[in-house]
């Protein structure tokens, strides 16, 4: 690789918080250790005397500043593919450029390298994997990602999907009610992940569509594509189909807003499972349980994701939140204090713009909630 150099890095070979247990079946333990040793690439070694202190030294390609980027693997022995779906941390379906599908596990050292992520491999990832016969394989490396949507999950980064061109953020006019604050969080994450955004308000047949025009117009003026749809009546589906044509699109939104129904309408015969909203809670039921990449017959693909009820932003510091609220930009320089947070300071031009109706109050409320850490 041009501009890359090799670097040795140390990673924990075993979890360092596991309890010591009495040795049971020594034969099985020896066989497992031998299997792990067989997986070591040339130039890698294991050190550490105790089970709790073992580390692996691996060779990685690094940038000029020495930052490790990719684990070095024998590319000649690997196939390239894109992850269609990933269940847990070690069960993936990978599609090669010729359309072949492989059921793959993830090399253990790769899972260790990505310990800050909830899952080492996600739908949409471009990977190198070693085929092992009978349409099976082992993923050896995940290529650098672009076009991602991430949130916090159990203190770790949950990359929902990767390598998309755009995100289709779906809300519903009713059943469940539209949640602009959740849409705003999606917009921040999508902006940070480099995704163009389409905002879709579905189920417009359940309410007076004219009542939705102010909020749809507001997002449109901010530069987002906005489409209003009814998956059951077909309203807006042709427009949405054109927006998805030839693009790699990540589909996300609250549970029950009709993401799967929309995809069934966009591509008749797709057969995605659907369900209604819970009568007891008024909230959507989780129908889609696995994030899955779906090719579109007219070109492009979509990544259908499970519904989300809460969205805590990952790796977004307070100082950069205002950058993703694009309507703040004309007023930021007019604040009295150069480090104004636009939450409590006096003579804040952003707050004054809210009072004057030049910034939507619900957008400002979303901003304040994000700044305060509320999810």
Q: Is 91 annotated as a binding residue?
A: no
Q: Is 375 annotated as a binding residue?
A: no
DSSP bridge pairs for 251: 168, 304
361-372 and 180-192 helices, crossing angle to 10°: 60
Q: Is 81 annotated as a binding residue?
A: no
Q: Is 340 annotated as a binding residue?
A: yes
Q: What is the CA radius of gyration of the chain?
A: 24
Q: Is 257 annotated as a binding residue?
A: yes
Q: Is 196 annotated as a binding residue?
A: no
Q: Tell me which residue of 200, 245, 204 sits closest to 219, measured CA to CA.
A: 200
Q: Is 88 annotated as a binding residue?
A: no
DSSP string covering 229-292: -BTTTTBTHHHHHHHHTTSEEEEEE-TTS-HHHHHHHHSTT-------B-TTT--B-----S-E
Tokens 């519903």 correspond to what residue? 172
* Cα–Cα distance, 186 to 84 (Å, whole number): 22
Q: Is 271 annotated as a binding residue?
A: no
Q: Is 6 annotated as a binding residue?
A: no
Contacts of 70 (CB under 8 A, 6+ apart): 60, 61, 141, 143, 144
Q: Tell me which residue of 189, 173, 151 sits closest to 309, measured CA to CA.
A: 151
DSSP string covering 164-188: -SEEEEEEESTTTTP-HHHHHHHHH
Q: Is 94 annotated as a binding residue?
A: no
Note if the bond before 176 is cis, omega within 30 degrees.
yes
C-alpha of 176 from chain center: 23
Q: In degrees, to the nearest 5, what angle opens at C-alpha 119 toward C-alphas 118 and 125?
A: 135
Alpha helix positions (H), the chain: 26-38, 108-113, 180-192, 213-221, 237-244, 259-266, 318-321, 329-332, 349-355, 361-372
Q: Is 286 annotated as a binding residue?
A: no
Q: Is 239 annotated as a binding residue?
A: no
Q: Is 136 annotated as a binding residue?
A: no
Q: Is 4 annotated as a binding residue?
A: no
Residues 37-52: b if buried by 16+ CB within 10 A, e if exposed: eeeeeeeeeeeeeeee
Q: Is 78 annotated as a binding residue?
A: no
Q: Which residues are annotated as a binding site?
A: 202-205, 253-261, 335, 340, 342, 348
Binding-site residues for Zn(2+), in ranges, read: 335, 340, 342, 348
Residues tagged in the binding site annotation for GTP = 202-205, 253-261
């Amino acid at each position: 690789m041009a501009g890359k150099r090799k670097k040795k890095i140390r990673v924990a070979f075993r979890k360092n918080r596991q309890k010591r247990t009495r040795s049971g079946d020594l034969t099985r333990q020896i066989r497992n250790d031998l299997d792990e040793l067989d997986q070591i690439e040339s130039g890698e070694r294991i050190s550490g005397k105790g089970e709790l202190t073992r580390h692996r030294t691996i060779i990685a390609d690094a940038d000029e500043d020495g930052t490790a980027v990719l684990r070095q693997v024998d590319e000649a022995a690997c196939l390239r593919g894109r992850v269609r779906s990933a269940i847990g941390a070690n069960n993936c379906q990978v599609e090669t450029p010729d359309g072949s599908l492989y059921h793959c596990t993830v090399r253990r050292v790769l899972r260790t390298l990505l310990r800050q992520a909830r899952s080492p491999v996600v739908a949409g990832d471009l990977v190198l994997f070693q085929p092992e016969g009978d349409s099976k394989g082992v993923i050896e490396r995940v290529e650098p990602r672009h076009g991602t949507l991430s949130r916090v999950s159990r203190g770790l980064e949950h990359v929902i999907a990767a390598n998309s061109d755009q995100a289709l953020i779906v809300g519903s006019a009713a059943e469940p009610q539209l949640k602009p604050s959740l849409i705003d969080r999606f917009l921040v994450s999508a902006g940070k992940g480099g995704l163009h955004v389409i905002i879709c308000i579905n189920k417009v047949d359940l309410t007076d569509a004219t009542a939705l025009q102010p909020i749809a117009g507001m997002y449109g003026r901010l530069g987002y594509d906005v489409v209003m749809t009814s998956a059951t009546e077909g309203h807006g589906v042709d427009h949405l189909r054109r927006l998805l044509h030839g693009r790699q699109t990540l589909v996300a939104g609250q549970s029950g807003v009709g993401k799967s129904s929309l995809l069934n309408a966009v591509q008749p015969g797709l057969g995605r499972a659907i369900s209604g909203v819970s009568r007891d809670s008024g909230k959507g039921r989780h129908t889609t349980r696995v994030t899955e990449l779906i090719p579109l017959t007219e070109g492009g693909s979509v990544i259908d994701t499970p519904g989300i009820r809460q969205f805590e932003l990952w790796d977004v510091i307070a100082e950069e939140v205002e950058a993703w609220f694009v309507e703040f930009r004309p007023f930021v320089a007019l604040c009295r204090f150069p480090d104004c947070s636009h939450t409590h300071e006096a003579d804040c031009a952003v707050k004054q713009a809210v009072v004057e109706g030049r910034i939507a109050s619900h957008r400002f409320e979303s901003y304040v909630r994000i700044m305060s850490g509320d999810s």
